[in-house]
């Protein structure tokens, strides 16, 4: 069984900005330790390929104003 890496897009990022776009949330079923909070998509793909894990992109919730 392959593991899963859970990530979501950062909220305070603008289009075309040269900062890592994804925030690491956690892993399940794989033995990998990640020591950063923000990752680029290319970095995520390399980690997933090396560990055989699947990347799960979480949807960030929007705050509802009443």
Whether the full predicted model's pTM is greater than 0.75, yes or no, is no
With 0-12 / 13-18 / 19 or more C-beta atoms within 10 angstroms meaning exposed / middle / buried, residue 39 is: buried
Is 4 in contact with 29 (CB distance < 8 Å)? yes
User: How far is it, in rounded angstroms, from Cα 61 to Cα 16?
Assistant: 22
Taking only the tens of pLDDT, the chain with its 66 residues reads 578 888 888 777 667 777 777 888 888 887 777 788 888 889 899 988 988 889 898 886 666 555
Q: Are 6 and 25 in contact (CB under 8 A)?
A: yes
* Phi and psi at residue 2, to the nearest 5°: -85, 155
């Amino acid at each position: 069984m392959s593991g899963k890496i859970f990530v979501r897009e950062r909220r305070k990022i603008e289009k075309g900005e040269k900062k890592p776009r994804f925030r690491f949330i956690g892993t399940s079923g794989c033995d990998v330790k990640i020591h950063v909070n923000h990752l680029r998509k290319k970095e995520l793909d390399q980690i997933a390929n090396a560990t055989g894990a699947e990347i799960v992109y979480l949807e960030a919730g929007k705050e509802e104003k009443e």
